[in-house]
Structure 1
């Protein structure tokens, strides 16, 4: 493949990451509007939100199988186009039964697009011979920021249906423009006759999936509970408490755009080790913080470390020896996202007894453990360790 086509593929998959994050961010302003539309209690709302996660986790292994047969580009094209209109289907749901199905489909399309775009990003890394996974996740964070920020204004001014129409009008052209330029990955371990070969037998990919889970749960904990921690246990105002996740997500997005260059220079193993240490120090600082300001700064430090953990883990999963990137990615994403379904409620249950400070201290220990497992990320360096004759030369650009 000519280098200019690979370069187009790099930006095409970046656009897919942006759209996926944009759809997730746009879903957030719809949640309180669902409460008003259907007069939902908190428990029923919790179950409806759970359906989104169930749809995502169910779709990921299914898409892994489909990618093993048809490739990530084909699956991403279908999932991307359907995902761009999925929020509109949720907004049009006239009754609870239809809404439940629409939310499962919405989550499934988000998850299917997620696993296929990560697999395609691995293919782009191989073609270019350099890392792009961290900045791709940076585009996801940027999309989520735009979707949530713009969506809050539009939903308040125009209402839930007009907001969903606007989201579709933005997402669909972006996806349509990107999909023709996605690259086709080289098949690595085809199964006989193109049939499903079963789950990977190598334990390495499952260990990487567990590491991804250990990376994602602390990230989700800051999203769900950091503001409440500052508000309830430190007496911060609502405005100050909200800065905790803002600082965390801001430094995380910044480092994700810088992370590929760091990884290309240091390698995946060393980057993972240093990132885990920085994330652990930040989370520990938040847990023992004497004031909201210090806690906010600690969360910002933790965001710098957390930023590259999941992208490196996904890159390692997609480069496992002896299995296809589709199989590796579907295993890692399914394990990672499955844990996130139960984690928020479990954290809330424990916090009622212990408070949030011990929980963040415990997550610091988890992040420290991640730094000790960094050797599992060695497959992510495969794109940099191939002989020059086996890969295309890297080209400039993000």
Structure 2
């Protein structure tokens, strides 16, 4: 049951993040802002997350991931309602920053809980947990554009909040309790001196920048540069999230059979091909196909990096994971804000081509993923 409860948290976190994707063009229309101003809002989401992620990371180290994840999740639950009610640019930016912080804090804590479940069970589950995240993101993105277009932003926010809260009520009491034992010495909150978790963090960073670029800008790319409707534009990230979900459910088995290093290298090559296809596409159909192919490749890059970080020899539990999570999510949260400014001068298609080239970095560092192979292959 603990395995399914942590998976449920990944599902609803993905649902919330996926629901955010089609809101960006809707907010641009409601507020009458350009890509650069929208980029400021997206940047605020990333900054909010990076401000609160260390707070919840420290809470995980001192009180356990179960307490941290439930606090972050309940505070994050009504985020879409507050964003819907925000009347102007600066209040939208503030509510989005708070949403980013709470969603990011939840993300750190639920990944820590998944690592604890992996160790308790002696079996990899990280890829499939991220598969549930992608499944939730697919539903949130695919339905979000239609709900906003048909019923408005507030109805969409109420629907997302109700679904989120319902899952929390079920999953919360069933999570693995992993807090420190009574009387145990406090965990020192210091950064690791070994370069290995920082290099693994670079892999996660390079892998998550394209994911963030698809999340935040695929809908804008399809709508503004290719003339797609808002409902169709929501399928840019939905296609990526859908294929990511399928591949993540297969990922733990692929890692056991082929090893983390080989799986990571193959995944990176497929992701590069998908981003290139999306960037070169001349119509929305081919671009959506490119995002779907990119999702197949991106799917297992981040779970492998997280699992490798959580099992670095000689590091206390959670220390390596906290470094890699912070570095990785700075890519998915901060880089897309910069893309808004770039999009004022170059096309989003050119930016997706550049992101394909960026994935040379995890390809070069792929050998470091060997620490993710804590299970015998067979």
TM-score under structure 2 length normalisation: 0.83
Q: Which residue of 1 aligns with 2:83?
A: 90
Q: Which residue of 2 aligns with 1:130?
A: 123
Q: Which residue of 2 aligns with 1:217?
A: 209
Q: Which residue of 2 aligns with 1:265?
A: 257
TM-score under structure 1 length normalisation: 0.79
- Does 1:336 pair with 2:324? no
- List per-residue Cα deviations over 1:223-260 (Å, max 9, x = no partner): 45567778898xx6637988765544432222112112
CA distance in 2 between partners of 1:298 and 1:87 (Å): 29
Distance apart, 1:67 and its partner CA: 0.8
CA distance in 2 between partners of 1:28 and 1:294 (Å): 20
Range moving further from structure 2, 195-204 or 297-306: 297-306
Kept after mapping to 2: 8 A contact 1:84/1:175: no
Kept after mapping to 1: 8 A contact 2:21/2:219: no
Structure number with bigger Rg: 1
> Residue 238 of structure 1: which of 224, 228, 243 is its match?
228
Q: Which residue of 1 aligns with 2:176?
A: 183
Kept after mapping to 2: 8 A contact 1:135/1:259: yes
> Residue 9 of structure 1: which of 2, 5, 11 is its match?
2
2:318 match: secondary structure: helix
Runs of 5+ consecutive residues of structure 1 not aligned to the other structure:
1-7, 387-398
- Does 1:205 pair with 2:183? no
Kept after mapping to 2: 8 A contact 1:14/1:139: yes
CA distance in 2 between partners of 1:16 and 1:52 (Å): 20
CA distance in 1 between partners of 2:96 and 2:42 (Å): 8
How many residue pairs match? The answer is: 374
Distance apart, 1:286 and its partner CA: 5.3
CA distance in 1 between partners of 2:376 and 2:244 (Å): 27
CA distance in 2 between partners of 1:173 and 1:281 (Å): 39
- List per-residue Cα deviations over 1:117-170 (Å, max 9, x = no partner): 111111112222222111211211221222233333444444433332232221
Kept after mapping to 2: 8 A contact 1:71/1:185: yes
Distance apart, 1:18 and its partner CA: 0.9
Q: Which residue of 2 aligns with 1:392?
A: none
Query: What is the alpha-carbon root mean square deviation over aligned residues?
Result: 3.6
Runs of 5+ consecutive residues of structure 2 not aligned to the other structure:
none
1:323 match: secondary structure: coil
- List per-residue Cα deviations over 1:245-304 (Å, max 9, x = no partner): 554443222211211211122222221122123323444555667987766655543332
Q: Which residue of 2 aligns with 1:322?
A: 314
Cα distance, 1:246–1:102 mapped onto 2, change above 3 Å: closer
- List per-residue Cα deviations over 1:187-206 (Å, max 9, x = no partner): 69x99841543112221111
CA distance in 1 between partners of 2:224 and 2:159 (Å): 37
Cα distance, 1:184–1:243 mapped onto 2, change above 3 Å: closer
Kept after mapping to 2: 8 A contact 1:61/1:331: no
- Does 1:19 pair with 2:5? no
- Does 1:151 pair with 2:144? yes
Kept after mapping to 1: 8 A contact 2:41/2:337: no
CA distance in 1 between partners of 2:244 and 2:204 (Å): 16
